Amino acid sequence: MPDEVWFAFALTLFAGLSTGVGSLIAFFTSTTNTRFLSWAMGFSAGVMIYVSFAEIFPESLEILVDATGEVAGNWLTVIGFFGGMILIALIDKIVPDIGNPHEVKKVEDMEESPQKARAKHPELLKMGTFTALAIAIHNFPEGIATFTAAVQDPTLGVAIAVAVAIHNIPEGIAVSVPIYYATGSRIKALTYSFLSGLAEPLGAVVAFLILMPFLNDILFGIVFASVAGIMVFISLDSLIPAAKAYNREHSSIYGFVLGMAVMAVSLLLLM
């Protein structure tokens, strides 16, 4: 396989396994740095939204216009963009409410002993399992998006992988807290958290096996436009609300603006 494909796989693995980082943070710190998480998630949203509109969408449009003509190319780009949004919205509809991966969790939620927690909330194991499953389902299209972007442009792939990795850290906390409560085992909580992240590289494998053999300019342009739609939806539906929930001050918007600025400067330096 070409080096860029291996690199793309490595990026998706890095992004996916960052859910385990959330578990490690939960287990080795006594309090949640909500200001930092708010800033970091805002930063991630800024990167995703800026790169979607300033780089991915225009590149998809250029590819599709060259391949199909101006009118068809514009239509296909828009269809691909909103198709990506619809895909991730449908996934949200499928995911059970009990396993909502966007629910904010904090390290402080584990102050109570697992025995007391189980007595008060006997459904914790089910909640943790569904949360892990929900995050895995969400991570699958994110893996396709990261892999596709990295194959086309490794630098762009790095930016998306970092943004997705930041996004996955609090999701790791959301898995580990109820699993730890339910089982009393940090190892099990950490394992569930890591496994939920493996859907990210699994999405990359599916993209490689199913999409790559048929990847002509038209299909690639549509997939690339869908990647932009997926990332914008994740930012608006998940990252920004969670960033605001972690910290009600201005940390999230400062992070958001900085994320856009860093992405803008990076793209300018690579021109």
Domain ranges in the chain are 3-269
Question: pLDDT band for position 266 (50/70/90)?
Answer: confident
Structure token digits, residue 234: 């994740």
Q: Which residues make up each annotated binding site for Fe(2+)?
A: 139, 142, 168, 171, 200
Residue 37, classed as helix, strand or coil, is helix
Q: Which residues are annotated as a binding site?
A: 139, 142, 167-168, 171, 200
Closest CA to 190 of 199, 177, 202: 177
CA distance 32 to 244: 15
106: left (phi over 0), alpha (psi -120 to 50) or beta: beta
**Model-wide pTM > 0.85:** no
Lowest mean pLDDT among 81-90, 145-154, 183-192: 183-192
Binding site, annotated residues for Zn(2+): 142, 167, 171
**φ, ψ for residue 246, nearest 5 deg:** -70, -35
pLDDT in tens, 103-138: 555 555 545 555 554 444 556 667 667 777 777 887
The rounded percent of the chain whose pLDDT value lies above 70 is: 82
Tens-place pLDDT, residues 203-250: 899 888 888 887 788 988 998 899 899 889 988 887 888 787 776 667
pLDDT at position 4 is 83
Look at residue 31 in the predicted model and tell me its pLDDT.
Answer: 56
Q: What's 111's DSSP letter?
A: -
Tokens describing residue 226: 């869908």
Condensed to tens digits (0 to 9), the pLDDT of residues 39-69 reads: 888 888 898 899 899 988 998 999 999 999 9
Say how many C-beta atoms besides its own lie within 10 A of residue 196's C-beta.
30
- The alpha carbon dihedral of 116, 118, 119, 121 has a sign of positive
